[in-house]
Amino acid sequence: MTAAPQFVSSAREIRNDWTTAEVEALFAMPFNDLLFKAQTVHRAHFDPNEVQVSTLLSIKTGACPEDCKYCPQSARYDTGLEKERLMEVEKVIERAKEAKAAGSTRFCMGAAWRNPKERDMPYVTRLISEVKKLGLETCMTLGMLSREQATALKQAGLDYYNHNLDTSPEYYGDIITTRTYQDRLNTLDNVRHAGMNVCSGGIVGMGESGKDRAGLLIALANLPQQPESVPINMLVKVEGTPLDNVDDLEPFEFIRTIAVARIMMPASHVRLSAGREDMNEQMQALCFMAGANSIFYGCKLLTTSNPDTHEDVRLFKKLGINTERTRDYSDEAHAQTLHEEIAERNTADLFYDATKTPAAHI
């Protein structure tokens, strides 16, 4: 009778000392046993029937100088993608309002930069301030950051900064040569030093080995502080990129990766990210059972496709899943904005219930 409480207790433990042998042993578990363990860990930290919902918007598309082999935004590859200038602030805010109306609690903005220039900082800090006024959590992905830039983003009110490690340290050089793994770790350190939440994950299905998938999760879990958000992307192959003909990753291996990420990073939101459009409902449901509890709403992730919002609403209704409400606010101004909205509107209208399909999408 004492075994179950002991297991739950161990499920709540957060470790930063995972070894390759331990993680490979998790990947090798029988599938049902692995999902049961992951679901037990998940329930020790989260409501199993809530999923955090974000919206991702490209505020500057294409012409990136990096050579990431998976990315259609690289200026080095002919993918037919037309570069776009920075979006006007007013257009970004309009998209943020649409995202909130659709049920998103976090609005993520991405720019195809190696790193932001100083001339860009007033623009991005204004975006942060304006989106925060809507009562949304804010996230940005702008490439590498200096410590001073990270501090400026934090002072503007940025809640999360996304900077993926992409793959294992050993496989990284086969995918990217224009920045090092240490460059990425340095940016994460600068984000932490500024006091922001970290969003960092990777991409699987890029031709890496199982050991590399384990290595990616070890690199993330063994950071001094584990990321609050861990996006796990399935490669979306884009014609013209060096990875457009790589073999597909076996679906059960992807689900195993989600489950192992949940076990290793029990308190993190594990995001079922790019590649969902090619996953059927059953595969996505298994990913949620394996511990995924975050997605992106919307028909596009930067430049690659994503399921339409109404498809996600329909799936959530089938599974009895609700969108997670924003719980933590990084400053008093954000909290005050929410209090003002609550005073003006009924709370039931303010927060979106995924089990109720919006009439606009029927």
Neighbours of 13 (CB within 10 A): 9
User: Is 299 annotated in the active site?
Assistant: no
Angle formed by the axes of helices 281-289 and 251-264, to 10°?
A: 20
Q: Which of 106, 199, 256, 287 is catalytic?
A: 199
Q: Which of 139, 184, 262, 287 is catalytic?
A: 139
Q: How many residues does the chain have?
A: 362
Dihedral class, residue 281 (left if φ above 0, else alpha if ψ from -120 to 50, else beta): alpha
Q: Which of 179, 271, 276, 287 is catalytic?
A: 271
**CA dist 37 → 29, 55, 211, 244, 291 (Å):** 10, 30, 21, 35, 10
User: Is 271 annotated in the active site?
Assistant: yes
Strands 304-305 and 300-301, sheet pairing: antiparallel
- Cβ atoms of residues 66 and 179 within 8 Å: yes
User: Is 199 annotated in the active site?
Assistant: yes
Question: How far is the C-alpha of 252 from the C-alpha of 259, rounded, in Å?
Answer: 10
Longest CA–CA separation in the chain, Å: 63
Angle formed by the axes of helices 121-132 and 147-156, to 10°?
A: 30
- Cβ atoms of residues 121 and 155 within 8 Å: no
Element (H, E) at 149: helix 147-156
User: Is 68 annotated in the active site?
Assistant: yes
User: Is 287 annotated in the active site?
Assistant: no
- What tokens appear for 160 in the block? 């999360």
Cα dihedral 332→149→293→231 (10° resolution): 180
Q: Which of 68, 106, 179, 276 is catalytic?
A: 68
Q: Which of 108, 262, 276, 287 is catalytic?
A: 108
Active-site positions read 64, 68, 71, 108, 139, 199, 271
